[in-house]
Structure 1
Amino acid sequence: MKGIYALILTLVLSVGLISCADQKASSNNIKEDNEVSSEVNNEIISNKEDKVEDSQKASDTTKEEQSSKNLKEKSNEYELVSKNYNKNNVKINYPEIKKFNDDEKLKSINKYLKGCALKVLDDYVKEDPNLEAVNLNVNYDVKFKNEKYISIVYEGEVNVNGTAYPSSIFYTTNVDLESGNIIRLSDYSNVNDILNKLKDPKNIKVIAESDELAAAQKDFILNIGNDKLINMIKNADFHEVNTKIESPKDGVYSYFDKDGVVISLQVNHAIGDHAEFKLKA
């Protein structure tokens, strides 16, 4: 009987020892799992901090680039306002620049804008100083402008007492904003290239009110001799001689827009008074 009790006691003690060992092992495993989880969480937090720091650096760099770009754009900003000349039945609208970043250049630019716009009056004030017999109306259209150039077209109509019919008026002004001076076709284009393009029927587009008028104007320019035409091109546009603005002697003007250069030639009244030829860039 004593032997049986001893056997039972031995079994109970064995089970107790095994249970304690399992609990200790489980406790150690939980501790190890917690340590691993803590390390993973720390790594995730560290990665998040790195990403936030990288994102902040990228954001700061972008802000610096935008700030620099905005400052550059602001320095090149200018404003165009309309001015007008009125006398009796004469009215000419023209642009004036404001808020330019160089006061001296601003004065020069506006002098040319006004001077070229009113130069058309020279043809009439010689015989009619008070412009009493002239009915003239001219408006402007800015064809191109950026921080370096501005190109302006003036169009209108004039009717002088005693003449059989009114005539169309067309002229242009191109200004180099960096130098503050007016520029001519020969200043911003190669005259030989212009000649070749004007003589190539496939290369020019006539800006006209009808196909019939366009065909007549194209024939007109194709029939001009090369020597004469290249001289007309060289002398195109307003220019300055001894501080005085001079008109082109052959009545040829140019302007440019985002698509290319346009040349205007005087033609007879029957085919429009003037013709515009757009050259492919």
Structure 2
Amino acid sequence: MKNNYFILFLSAIFFCTIAASILLMAGNAAFASGIEFKTATHTDKLIKINYPQISGMSDAAKMSKINALIKDHALAIKSPFAEELKDVEMDGNYTIEYIGSNILSVKYCVFANVKNAAHPVDVIAAANIDLNALKTLKLSEVVTVDQSLVELFLKGGYVPRGEDLDLSSAGALKDIIAGFDKKELLTRFKDPSAAFYFTKDSLVISAEVIHAAGDHAEFAVSYKDLGKALLLKPEGFSKLK
């Protein structure tokens, strides 16, 4: 089983690289109402993180603030490795998971390797920006974080990281779910750094798993199942301007 986990982890790195290449080729693709996302890149020694920047908004001041929030979050991905920045290699790319009139969700897939470490790490990060309040959102600001959320997470829909990393088809998903500690999940979800993002119909939350299984796993909880626990519901893209 451990060998299967390791193969899945290596496959995830390959998938992220391919997905990033496709994304960069479409980096200037236009969205509705003339809005475009263009790719910017932060480099620092062996660190390279791609992140989006918006162009085409009629409100230049608002667009500048949104772009600053996106950039600040992208650069903050380095924070957990602050003490090893001289010895860390990072390669990060993004996907736009949701763009609406009130919320923008940007997900990052980051490969990090610290010199002399036992193994590299597959990091997930996500910037969820309130386009009205112009701030980066924490999980506790968009959903009620309690034991009920933990239960919904465990019953949620597993989100494979591409065909090359699917714990379900590999027969490992049940073991991963059984290995979660509910108290630890609740503590993690309350942490300001908890990783999550919006999609058209679900809130996707990430939790740490063993390295051999990919370092993290994502589960989608539908807005319908969240009900009143959902404190901020995504709205349509047409109202962005």
**Normalized against structure 2, the TM-score is what?**
0.69
| CA offset digits 1:33-84 (Å, max 9, x no partner) | xxxxxxxxxxxxxxxxxxxxxxxxxxxxxxxxxxxxxxxx84xx52211100
TM-fit CA distance, 1:145: 0.6
Could you say which residue in structure 1 is the equivalent of 2:19? none
CA distance, structure 2, for counterparts of residue 231 and residue 150 of structure 1 = 25
- Rounded to whole Å, the distance in 2 between the matches of 1:217 and 1:100 is 43
SS at the partner of 2:77?
Answer: helix
Identity %: 26
Which residue of structure 1 aligns with residue 196 of structure 2? 254
- Counterpart of 1:213 in structure 2 is 172
| Alignment correspondent of 1:230 | 186
Q: Which residue of 2 aligns with 1:104?
A: 61
**What is the number of residues matched between the two proteins?**
184
Which of these residues, 217, 223, 239, is aligned with residue 275 of structure 1?
217
The equivalences for 1:13-162 within 5 A come to 74=33, 77-128=34-85, 131=86, 133-162=87-116
Q: What 5-or-longer segments of structure 2 have no aligned partner?
A: 1-31, 161-165, 224-241
What secondary structure does 2:49 align onto?
Answer: strand
Question: Is 1:195 the counterpart of 2:147 in the alignment?
Answer: no
- TM value normalised by structure 1: 0.60
RMSD: 2.1
Q: Which runs of 4+ in 1 moved over 6 A?
A: none
Is the contact made by 2:111 and 2:123 (CA closer than 8 Å) also made in structure 1? yes
Residues 161-182 of structure 1, C-alpha deviation per residue, up to 9 Å, x if partnerless? 1112211111111011122111
The one-letter code sitting in structure 1 at the alignment partner of 2:55 is K
Structure 1 unaligned runs (5+)? 1-72, 237-247
Q: CA contact under 8 A between 2:69 and 2:136: conserved in structure 1?
A: yes
Q: Is the 8 A contact 1:105 1:179 kept in 2?
A: no
Paired residue secondary structure (2:51): strand
Name the CA shift for 1:153/1:213 in 2 (closer, same or farther; >3 Å): farther
1:206·1:218 contact (CA, 8 Å) conserved in 2? Answer: no
More helix by share: 1
The aligned residue for residue 26 of structure 2 is: none
Name the structure 2 match of 1:52.
Answer: none
User: Match for residue 29 of structure 2?
Assistant: none
Q: Which AA in structure 2 matches 1:100?
A: M
Report the CA distance between 1:219 and its aligned residue. 1.5
Which structure would you say has the larger RCO, counting Cα contacts within 8 Å and 6 or more residues apart?
Answer: 2
In structure 1, C-alpha distance between the alignment counterparts of 2:139 and 2:80, rounded to whole Å: 23
Is contact 1:84-1:93 (8 Å) kept?
Answer: yes
What CA distance in whole angstroms lies between the structure 1 residues aligned with 2:54 and 2:42?
Answer: 16
Q: Is this contact kept in 2: 1:207–1:214, CA < 8 A?
A: no
